[in-house]
Amino acid sequence: MSTDTLQALISRSALEWRLTFDALEFPLLLLEMDGRIVRMNEAARALAGVTFEEAIHRLLEVLGNGQPWSVLRLLLSQVAATGERAGTQTREEHGRVWDVAISPVVGPDGDRWGIVVILDITERVRLQESLRRSETMSAMGALVAGVAHEVRNPLFGISATLDAFEARFKRRTEYRRYLDVLKERVGRLNELMQHLLDYGKPARLDLAPAVLRVVMGAAVVACAPLAVRAGVELVLDAPPDLPAPLLDRNRAVQIFQNLLENAIQHSPPGGRVLFRAGRAADGAAVEITVEDDGPGFRPEDLDRAFEPFFTRRRGGTGLGLSIVQRIAEQHGGAVAAANRPAGGAVMTVTLPLVSGRR
């Protein structure tokens, strides 16, 4: 075989290897144990935002200090010290979760290298967290629903007794202040019991195509008296030609009513609550948002917004948003809490146009 032919075969083999390396959809790197980059496929370069020339034969620091590169440097030092495979999961600030693994290999000249495989497992982790949350919420729902049923009977007896007492002694003004306090407390307990029953309600949905503007309008009508008392303007913005998702109408109205009531209660007099709907960016879902002019969420509370019984509002049960989340997930959707750049909170409910309910 001539030298030219051999050179051509070597060049072809190198090209085929590089094309195969770059064709892999997940980031793949070959590193020296001191952190120098030997090879880096196209997916890895895209993730790091560097070119081939900027990365090859440079140290890992050239890829930046964010994730997954920061944890990769720690893993590499561990592999260099032990000579054994190492791996971990890491979450970046934008929410993506990465599985990072390094396997030690010996190069052609006896050099120690590390093969790095980086997998985006964000969706898998999200589904696992959703499943765990659903299982926990289901178990808790059954428990609290049972408790609520047991408590409602004596509560009904107390309420009936107070009504009878009021009817008999309504002219005795010295009892009035005690009656008012007791009735207010019983009313709050009844509200809590109803929330507990809603939270524990099983997922038997009566799904049918629903015109969002009509369903949203029903929630606005239900919340209008509260908005008037609070001096808050309710604005509905829902195009009539939006695709119709499959919804249990009553449960969907409950979602929107809970969110609107929460927004009204946190808005100052003269404030505005904007209630609007639109097509999601991917076209596969609709998004319904509730925006208010209130103080918004404390940064440390955003991760706890949907936690059962967590509330900062005096007199709140802490179950409103938990119920919203549960109903949204029963429809195959999701709900997210955030703060508006201009101030106030924004709640976003995403509902699929094809039911994702299990």
- Average pLDDT of the chain to the nearest whole number: 83
The CATH code of domain 204-358 reads 3.30.565.10
| Average pLDDT over every residue of 309-323 | 70
In this model, does residue 355 exceed pLDDT 50? Answer: no
| Average pLDDT over every residue of 219-237 | 94
The CATH code of domain 3-120 reads 3.30.450.20
Residue (of 123, 73, 128) closest to 96 by Cα position: 123
| Average pLDDT over every residue of 110-136 | 82
User: Which tens digits make up the pLDDT trace of 92-117?
Assistant: 866 789 999 999 988 777 788 999 99
Structure tokens, 341: 């750049």
> What is the percent of the chain where pLDDT is above 90?
37
pLDDT confidence bin for 356, thresholds 50/70/90 = very low
User: Which tens digits make up the pLDDT trace of 265-313?
Assistant: 999 999 999 999 999 888 889 999 999 998 888 887 877 787 776 676 6
- Taking only Cα atoms into account, the Rg of the chain, rounded to an integer number of angstroms, comes to 29
C-beta of residue 179 within 8 angstroms of C-beta of residue 165: yes
- Please give the pLDDT value at position 104: 93
| Average pLDDT over every residue of 322-344 | 88
> Domain extents for the chain?
3-120, 122-202, 204-358
| Average pLDDT over every residue of 135-151 | 68
pLDDT confidence bin for 180, thresholds 50/70/90 = confident
pLDDT confidence bin for 153, thresholds 50/70/90 = confident
- Please give the pLDDT value at position 279: 92
